[in-house]
Structure formats: structure tokens, C-alpha cells
Amino acid sequence: MTTGAESTPNWPSAEHVPVDELARRQGVEPPKSLDDLACPELWESDEEYDRFLADLYESRRSGAA
């Protein structure tokens, strides 16, 4: 009989670095506003965005996503 401990990794390891430490090392800071997350140049046109959404919704309906 196993307790499950054998199948779980031993955390933290010598290579493990906590997420907050990785963020500090990389200079990552939380966004100050929702505008910081906006990427208006992401889509070439409204039509391209509409095609993306249609494809996304279709893939979700078909279970592919």
C-alpha cells in the first residue's frame, strides 16, 4: 500500500525559486491599471478580431480548446 508521498515531488528543491523572487529578479511589477494590459495593435482590423473570436467560439463548442 502506498501513501501517495512516493509520487509527489519534493518541494522546494535546490533549483526551486519562488514566483515572487523570480518576479523581483526580472523586474516584473503588477499592472497599475487595466490600460496597462491593453494591446490595441494586436489586431490589424475589426474583421480580423471577429474572425479570431468566431474561431475561438467554434473550437470551444467542438471541445477542441
**Residue 6: predicted pLDDT:** 56
Per-domain residue ranges for the chain?
A: 40-65
CA 16, CA 12: separation in Å to the nearest integer?
A: 6
**Residue 37: predicted pLDDT:** 86
Instruction: Return the amino acid letter for 20.
Output: D
More confident of the two residues 15 and 11 = 15
**Residue 9: predicted pLDDT:** 60
Residues in the chain: 65
pTM over 0.75: no
List, for residues 17-43, the tens digit of each pLDDT value.
899 999 999 999 988 999 888 888 888
